[in-house]
């Protein structure tokens, strides 16, 4: 998913057809009005008639006379130069076909920190995307966001239709809507996994890998067989980058999104569990034996990708697309004589005492939100575009990118008929599909303001992730999905919002900051006892800050959410 809907389509066709029929109907009426049909109209009347018929493009979008400007900041961390390069084509396409000028700003820094700086300086754009619930509430409490409910009532019929019964869940107790969800819906595919260098694994005879210890032993043997790359640089069994999801890498020990859940749905943070300690000791073992990249907690993604593509990293625990993007997707275009087996494959690991390996939590609410701030002069225009994007055809266009080009992944005909580009599909299966090139040419998923990650409502099959539409047809995706089918779970009920007026909000952030540095310190300890001491110190500090209050708050909210769906 490159990491890491029928009625709306019909509506688009109806709008388009309606526009065409309006023109035909007008001509018919003129013909039936006796001699007036044969009399020349004056210039003013011609101008009025033309202006009265808005242009509806092939996607069902009513093209505005004046350009709609959408200038937004995406809090998703990314390289700004690469982001701008991938945005260019879809920007030009939308400007030409929709008269919508979309400008996106993105930085290679922590999005939450950047948003805090924007708020403090009062320097921010009219639209912000990828803002999480807690940060959104902070902006709301300071009067920086506008209530979107009246705008959705007036211009957002598709937003209400696509969200359906879920729409009301986004409203606050006063019926106000502060953000439109991004990446909502349920898509039962893996996000996180363990990874392994497949050709070298086969070279070893493909020994059994089921537990963390199996994985460690195999990777240790693999490093022994391949201690250096072709340039003489040291290889490592595992490595991370600064996008590491600590809660996710704990899932192997049966922890759900960083918490242990008992039979009564009481939540215990991993810092207070034996499982959490075992996980830290496990990762520390890689470090102590020289099997972990010493820059694991410092690597910027691009630097990390270079290590991967230079064949220095043999395994990884993280988003499945990381090793694809950083490994064999690079090799296939740069490695002479590359074969299909020279790749990374995703596998599931489960600790012996865990009931399941919970690697991929799914929150159907969505990842985060798009908001409109008090700096936006024309919020109604923004909602109109979001209302289009959330439709199946809007999701296809913004998700799959520009159609009908040689490098497009799909074809589209006026009237709503579409199909996948078979040549690109076959490249996907052959492992020669060029993601970066396709992103640059088509702008696929470069503008993600309101469309879902789940299946689209018009065929209950398509998804915005182009490469996830053929999972069981693709040999390697099918293998990945089979290996990881038991690691995916619905985590919607655990969605907790730390509002700005909640005194625990600051406590929660302090604990997150503590864990970010404390986990790295524990994992990179020189001895196992040092790792245990660092873990205990981190736990004690977290408890002192208020970890048990956080557990109690989350447990109460979790049980309340469960009660709503029972």
99 and 240, same domain (yes or no): no
Residue 435 domain flag:
yes
Residue 24 domain flag:
no
Question: CA angle, corner 104, sides to 98 and 109, nearest 5?
Answer: 165
One-character DSSP codes across 68-134 = EEEEEEE-S---HHHHHHHHHHHHHHHHHHH-EEEEEE--SS-HHHHHHHHHHHT---SEEEEE-HH
pLDDT score recorded for residue 108: 92
Q: Encode pLDDT of 324-359 as tens digits.
A: 999 998 998 899 999 999 999 999 999 999 999 999
Is residue 537 a contact partner of residue 518, using CB atoms and an 8 Å limit? yes
Mean pLDDT on 299-312: 94
Looking at residue 344, the DSSP 8-state letter turns out to be E
Final residue of a structural domain among 463, 482, 499 = 463
Q: What is the CATH number of the domain that holds 405?
A: 3.40.190.10
pLDDT category of residue 502 using cuts at 50, 70 and 90: very high
pLDDT score recorded for residue 47: 45
Gyration radius of the chain over CA positions: 26
Which has the minimum average pLDDT: 139-143, 200-204, 562-566?
A: 562-566
Measured CA to CA, the distance from residue 463 to residue 187 in angstroms comes to 8
Residue 421 domain flag:
yes
pLDDT category of residue 425 using cuts at 50, 70 and 90: very high
Q: Encode pLDDT of 490-499 as tens digits.
A: 999 998 889 8
pLDDT category of residue 146 using cuts at 50, 70 and 90: very high
pLDDT category of residue 243 using cuts at 50, 70 and 90: confident
Q: If you count them, how many residues does the chain have?
A: 566
Mean pLDDT on 443-464: 95
Q: What are the φ/ψ torsions at residue 103 (nearest 5 degrees)? A: -115, 130
Task: Answer whether residue 5 shows pLDDT above 70.
Answer: no
pLDDT score recorded for residue 500: 85
Q: Encode pLDDT of 31-47 as tens digits.
A: 333 333 333 344 444 44
Q: Which structural domain, as residue segments, surrounds residue 131? A: 68-184+368-463
Residue 160 domain flag:
yes
Q: Encode pLDDT of 39-89 as tens digits.
A: 334 444 444 454 557 899 999 999 999 999 999 999 999 999 999 999 999
- Measure Cα distances from 488 to 5, 65, 236, 362, 481 in Å: 23, 47, 28, 7, 10
3-state class percentages of the chain: helix first, strand second, coil last, to nearest 5? 50, 15, 35
213 and 242, same domain (yes or no): yes
Is residue 205 a contact partner of residue 499, using CB atoms and an 8 Å limit? no
Task: Answer whether residue 15 shows pLDDT above 70.
Answer: no
Looking at residue 460, the DSSP 8-state letter turns out to be S
Is residue 469 a contact partner of residue 396, using CB atoms and an 8 Å limit? no
Q: Encode pLDDT of 387-421 as tens digits.
A: 999 999 999 999 999 999 999 999 999 788 999 99
126 and 147, same domain (yes or no): yes
374 and 457, same domain (yes or no): yes
Measured CA to CA, the distance from residue 101 to residue 92 in angstroms comes to 8
233 and 354, same domain (yes or no): yes
256 and 336, same domain (yes or no): yes
pLDDT score recorded for residue 98: 98
Domain count, the chain: 2
pLDDT score recorded for residue 528: 98
pLDDT category of residue 27 using cuts at 50, 70 and 90: very low
380 and 406, same domain (yes or no): yes
Task: Answer whether residue 148 shows pLDDT above 50.
Answer: yes
Residue 56 domain flag:
no
Residue 199 domain flag:
yes
116 and 232, same domain (yes or no): no
- Find residue 72's DSSP bridge partners: 104, 127
Q: Encode pLDDT of 101-121 as tens digits.
A: 999 999 999 999 999 999 999
- Find residue 412's DSSP bridge partners: 418
Final residue of a structural domain among 463, 481, 516 = 463
142 and 159, same domain (yes or no): yes
217 and 315, same domain (yes or no): yes
Measured CA to CA, the distance from residue 353 to residue 347 in angstroms comes to 18
* CB neighbours of residue 365 within 10 Å: 18
Mean pLDDT on 554-562: 94
552 and 529, same domain (yes or no): yes
Dihedral angle over CA of 349, 290, 306, 299, nearest 10: 80
Q: What is the mean pLDDT of the chain?
A: 90
Residue 307 domain flag:
yes
97 and 235, same domain (yes or no): no
Measured CA to CA, the distance from residue 280 to residue 334 in angstroms comes to 37
Measured CA to CA, the distance from residue 55 to residue 418 in angstroms comes to 22
Q: Is the peptide bond before 69 cis (omega within 30 degrees of 0)?
A: no
Residue 33 domain flag:
no
């Amino acid at each position: 998913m490159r990491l890491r809907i029928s009625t709306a389509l019909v509506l688009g066709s109806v709008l388009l057809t309606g526009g065409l029929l309006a023109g035909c109907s007008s001509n018919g009426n003129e013909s039936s009005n006796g001699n007036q049909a044969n009399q020349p109209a004056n210039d003013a009347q011609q101008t009025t008639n033309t202006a009265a018929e808005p242009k509806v493009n092939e996607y069902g979008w009513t093209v505005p006379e004046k350009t709609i400007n959408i200038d937004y900041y995406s809090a998703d961390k990314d390289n700004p130069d690469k982001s701008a390069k991938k945005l260019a084509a879809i920007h030009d396409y939308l400007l030409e076909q929709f008269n919508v000028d979309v400008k996106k700003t993105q930085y290679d820094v922590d999005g939450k920190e950047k948003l805090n700086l924007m708020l403090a300086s009062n320097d921010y754009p009219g639209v912000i995307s990828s803002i999480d619930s807690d940060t959104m509430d902070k902006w709301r409490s300071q009067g920086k966001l506008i209530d979107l409910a009246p705008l959705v009532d007036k211009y957002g019929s598709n937003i209400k239709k696509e969200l359906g019964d879920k729409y009301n869940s986004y409203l606050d107790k006063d019926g106000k809507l502060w953000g439109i969800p991004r990446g909502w819906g349920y898509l039962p595919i893996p996000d996180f996994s363990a990874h392994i260098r497949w050709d070298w694994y086969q070279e070893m005879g493909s020994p059994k890998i089921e537990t963390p210890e199996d994985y460690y032993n195999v990777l240790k043997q693999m490093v022994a067989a391949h201690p250096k790359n072709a340039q003489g640089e040291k290889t490592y069994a595992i490595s991370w980058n600064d996008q590491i999801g600590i809660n996710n890498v704990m899932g192997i020990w049966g922890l759900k999104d960083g918490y242990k859940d008992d039979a009564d749905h009481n939540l215990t943070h991993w810092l207070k569990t034996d499982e959490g300690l075992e996980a830290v000791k496990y990762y520390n073992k890689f470090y102590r034996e020289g099997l972990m990249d010493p820059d694991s907690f410092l690597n910027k993604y691009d630097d990390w990708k270079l290590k991967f593509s230079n064949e220095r990293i043999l395994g990884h625990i993280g988003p499945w697309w990381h090793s694809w993007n950083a490994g064999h997707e690079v090799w296939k275009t740069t490695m002479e004589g590359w074969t299909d087996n020279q790749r990374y494959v995703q596998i599931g690991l489960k600790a012996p005492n865990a009931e399941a390996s919970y690697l991929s939590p799914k929150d159907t609410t969505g990842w985060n939100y798009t908001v409109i701030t008090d700096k936006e002069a024309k919020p109604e225009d923004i909602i109109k575009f979001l209302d289009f994007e959330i439709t199946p055809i809007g999701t296809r266009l913004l998700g799959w990118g520009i159609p009908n080009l040689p490098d497009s992944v799909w074809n589209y005909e006026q009237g709503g008929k579409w199909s996948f580009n078979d040549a690109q599909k076959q490249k996907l299966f052959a492992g020669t599909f060029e993601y970066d090139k396709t992103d640059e040419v088509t702008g696929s998923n470069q503008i993600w303001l309101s469309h879902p990650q789940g299946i689209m409502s018009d065929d209950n099959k398509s998804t915005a992730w182009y490469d996830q539409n053929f999972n069981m047809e693709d040999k390697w995706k099918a293998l990945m999905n089979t290996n990881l089918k038991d690691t995916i779970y619905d985590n919607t009920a655990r969605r907790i919002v730390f509002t700005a007026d909640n005194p625990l909000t600051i406590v929660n952030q302090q604990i997150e900051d503590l864990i970010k540095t404390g986990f790295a310190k524990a994992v990179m300890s020189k001895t196992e006892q040092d790792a245990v001491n660092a873990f205990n110190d981190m736990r004690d500090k977290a408890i002192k800050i208020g970890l048990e209050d956080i557990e109690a708050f989350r447990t109460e909210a979790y049980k309340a959410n469960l009660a709503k769906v029972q």
